[in-house]
Amino acid sequence: MPVFDFNSAPEDKKEVQCTYTTFCSNEDHATPECPILVLDNQNRKWNHHSCGVFTNQNKQTAFEFDEKDGTCSADILKVDARFVSLLKWLGENHINVRLSGENKPDGYAVYKIREIAFGGGTKLSAEDGFLQFMIERLFASDAPKEKINDDEQEESGDDMKLTSIQSITDFMTCAGRTLPDNIRLWARRNLAVARSHEVSQEERRHAQRALSTMMNIQWKSNYFEAIDPDEARRILDEELYGMEKVKQRIIETIIQINRTHTLPAYGLLLVGPAGTGKSQIAYAVARILKLPWTTLDMSSINDPEQLTGSSRIYSNAKPGIIMEAFSMAGESNLVFIINELDKAASGKGNGNPADVLLTLLDNLGFTDNYMECMIPTVGVYPIATANDKDQISAPLMSRFAVIDIPDYTPEEKKVIFSKFALPKVLKRMSLKAEECIMTDEALNEVIELYSNTSGIRDLEQAAEHIAANALYQIEVNHAERVEFDAEMVRELLG
């Protein structure tokens, strides 16, 4: 059992005794019923808001309350195992804090800790914002498997970012165990470089930048909560018309996640003509999984280094697009939407960008040249789109479950135009449905005009053109309503 030893007690004193026990909790916030810690209140009931410092009275771990009648001490009885290291750190640095708690039969239940500027004591790296950032991270973490003092999470970080060496050091001390083992070891080595005066200023700068990037990512486990299939189906129906086989395949993937609580071994590859809604399907899946998403447009990537980052030996070195995607998302579980995968093999630089994707897709870990560390990718779900799967290499194809996206039939295009595309445009232009009317002949004419085009993008543009013409006639010609027939459509769009 870890013991807080905040003061250098004389050698003739008895060894410090631990007065508290730890308990495991996976709650994402604290309440009086599920507090961060519990203090002894047998001799005195403590105020709802109480100030003081975590300290140690040589024989017990305690909190010193700053009361009107002087300083009073109370033993710590119970501590959420995730917060042991944080409380120890607060005591060692004599940080003045304000506790919010409630007196209960078993003690004073503390559910909030805030830093206060009081008595000229030591300040945190970023004052209270940094403390809340760490508390929030600790709440987001799981209860530690072994009862060791450490773990982290926040309470209200307000977009707090770890950038300074001091804040990174404090974070490692209080919440280092929330990091994967290999990243924690990597961080210690880079922290030593960032502090060292035996390396160049450039090396220290790169080490600090890499640390800041890595520390601001919340590294999650590969455990996924169950997803409601009915809600998933509702989202798919909302985003897509028809495509029953595609929807069925996605629902099957959701059921698989619910059974295993992990992502499938293979991502999705959506293959079909341009304009058939492949990207829209990818965004819908990200929404169903409740994960942040990022896009990789392979047609604009000509060099593998754009994905893998550049080595720190260069002064203008920086992480690659994949690492920056983790940084922008702020967490390790996300959906990678890889657009135009069939263009990935057309690199014009020093290698093939498609080869870089293989390590990302294998979920074994991805190494960025700038970070110089293996990045866990178990929480990454790749969804790729392509127009021609014949242009995709066999190794890449073998890492995806392929879903063919068929083009829409004329009847489907008619429904999409009349029920989705045109109403959406009218709403955006603040037009009422009765102000812009399409006859059946007009609808048939629109579909006929675009019968040789794939997808529905041309239909959406046609809806935009028709709605804009109706708005013009209403505003300029003072028409009360506009009814389009086949001849008007031919004249307008032909």
Residue 68 pLDDT exceeds 90: no
pLDDT on residue 152: 38
Domain at 323, CATH number = 3.40.50.300
- In this structure, the answer to whether residues 356 and 458 fall within a common structural domain is no
User: For 432-471, what is each residue's pLDDT tens digit?
Assistant: 888 898 998 999 999 888 888 877 788 888 999 999 999 9
Mean pLDDT for the chain overall: 83
Each residue of 384-418: pLDDT tens digit? Answer: 999 888 888 888 888 898 988 888 888 888 888 88
pLDDT of residue 120: 47
CATH of the domain at 425: 1.10.8.60
CA 277, CA 57: separation in Å to the nearest integer? 67
Instruction: Indicate whether 488 belongs to any domain.
Output: yes
pLDDT at residue 239 in the model: 80
Report if residue 223 sits inside a domain: no
Q: Are residues 71 and 172 in the same domain?
A: no
CB-based contacts of 329: which residues, under 8 Å, 6+ apart?
217, 292, 293, 294
> Which residues fall within 8 angstroms of residue 276, CB to CB, at 6 or more apart?
405, 406, 407, 408, 454, 455, 456
Query: Is residue 290 assigned to a domain?
Result: yes
For residue 218, the tally of other CB atoms under 10 A from its CB is 20
Tell me: do 381 and 251 sit in the same domain: yes
User: Region 166-173: what's the mean pLDDT?
Assistant: 87
Q: Phi, psi (5° rounding) for residue 333?
A: -95, 110
pLDDT of 149 reads 41
Give residue-wise pLDDT tens across range 344-389: 765 555 667 877 888 788 777 888 999 998 888 888 899 999 988 8
d(CA 5, CA 25): 25
pLDDT over 70 at 224, yes or no? yes
Interval 258-286 mean pLDDT: 87
Q: Does 396 share its domain with 420?
A: no
pLDDT recorded at residue 345:
64
Asked if residue 4 belongs to a domain, the reply is no
Average pLDDT estimate for 297-302: 82
Domain final position from 140, 171, 197: 140
Q: Model confidence at 142, in pLDDT bands (50, 70, 90)? A: confident
In a domain, 456, yes or no: yes
- The pLDDT of residue 157 is above 70: no
Q: pLDDT at residue 148 above 50?
A: no
Residues 252 and 332 reside in one and the same domain: yes
**Distances in Å between the alpha carbon of 424 and those of 31, 327, 433, 456, 463?**
45, 34, 10, 14, 9
3-state SS string for the chain:
CCCCCCCCCCCCCCCCCCCCEEECCCCCCCCCCCCCEEECCCCCCCCCEEEEEEEECCCCEEEEEEECCEEEEEEEEEEEHHHHHHHHHHHHCCCCEEEEEEEECCEEEEEEEEECCCCCCCCCEEHHHHHHHHHHHHHHCCCCCCCCCCCCEECCCCCCCCCCHHHHHHHHHHHHHHCCHHHHHHHHHHHHHHHCCCCCHHHHHHHHHHHHHHHCCECCCCCCCCCCHHHHHHHHHHHCCCCHHHHHHHHHHHHHHHHHCCCCCCEEEEECCCCCCHHHHHHHHHHHHCCCEEEEEHHHCCCCHHHHCCCCCCCCCCCCHHHHHHHHHCECCEEEEEECHHHCCCCCCCCCHHHHHHHHHCCCCEEECCCCEEECCCCEEEEEEECCHHHCCHHHHCCEEEEECCCCCHHHHHHHHHHHHHHHHHHHCCCCHHHEEECHHHHHHHHHHCCCCCCCHHHHHHHHHHHHHHHHHHHCCCCCCEEECHHHHHHHHC
pLDDT of residue 457: 82
- Interval 222-235 mean pLDDT: 89
Same domain, 400 and 415: no
Percent of the chain surpassing pLDDT 70: 88
Same domain (yes/no): 174, 136: no
Mean pLDDT of 121-144: 75
Whether residues 397 and 454 fall in one domain: no
**pLDDT of amino acid 407:** 80
Would you mind telling me the total number of residues written for the chain in this entry?
494
| Domain contains 439 | yes
The values of phi and psi at residue 336, to 5°, are -95, 115
Domains of the chain: total:
4
pLDDT at 145 (0 to 100): 66
Q: Is residue 201 a contact partner of residue 376, using CB atoms and an 8 Å limit? A: no
Of residues 357, 322, 238, 222, the one with CA closest to residue 287: 238
Which stretch of 75-89, 122-136, 176-190, 375-389 has the lowest confidence by average pLDDT? Answer: 122-136
Same domain, 331 and 298: yes
| Phi, psi dihedrals of residue 381, rounded to the nearest 5° | -115, 110
Share of the chain above pLDDT 90, in %: 20
Same domain, 278 and 420: no
What pLDDT does residue 188 have?
A: 92
Would 252 be classed as within a structural domain? Answer: yes
Range(s) of the domain holding residue 444: 410-493
Q: Which of 404, 430, 456 finishes a domain?
A: 404
What value does the CA radius of gyration of the chain take, rounded to a whole number of Å? 30
CA distance 156 to 287: 24
Task: Kindly state whether residue 145 falls inside one of the protein's structural domains.
Answer: no
Give residue-wise pLDDT tens across range 326-350.
888 888 888 989 888 888 765 555 6
Average pLDDT over residues 245-272: 89
pLDDT exceeds 80 at position 245: yes
Q: Residue 123 — very low, low, confident or very high, per pLDDT cuts 50/70/90? A: low
The terminus-to-terminus CA distance of the chain in angstroms comes to 80
- Model pLDDT, residue 159: 47
Q: What pLDDT is stored for residue 104 in this prediction?
A: 92
169 with 295, same domain: the answer is no
Indicate if 278 and 357 belong to the same structural domain: yes
Domain boundary among 404, 429, 453: 404
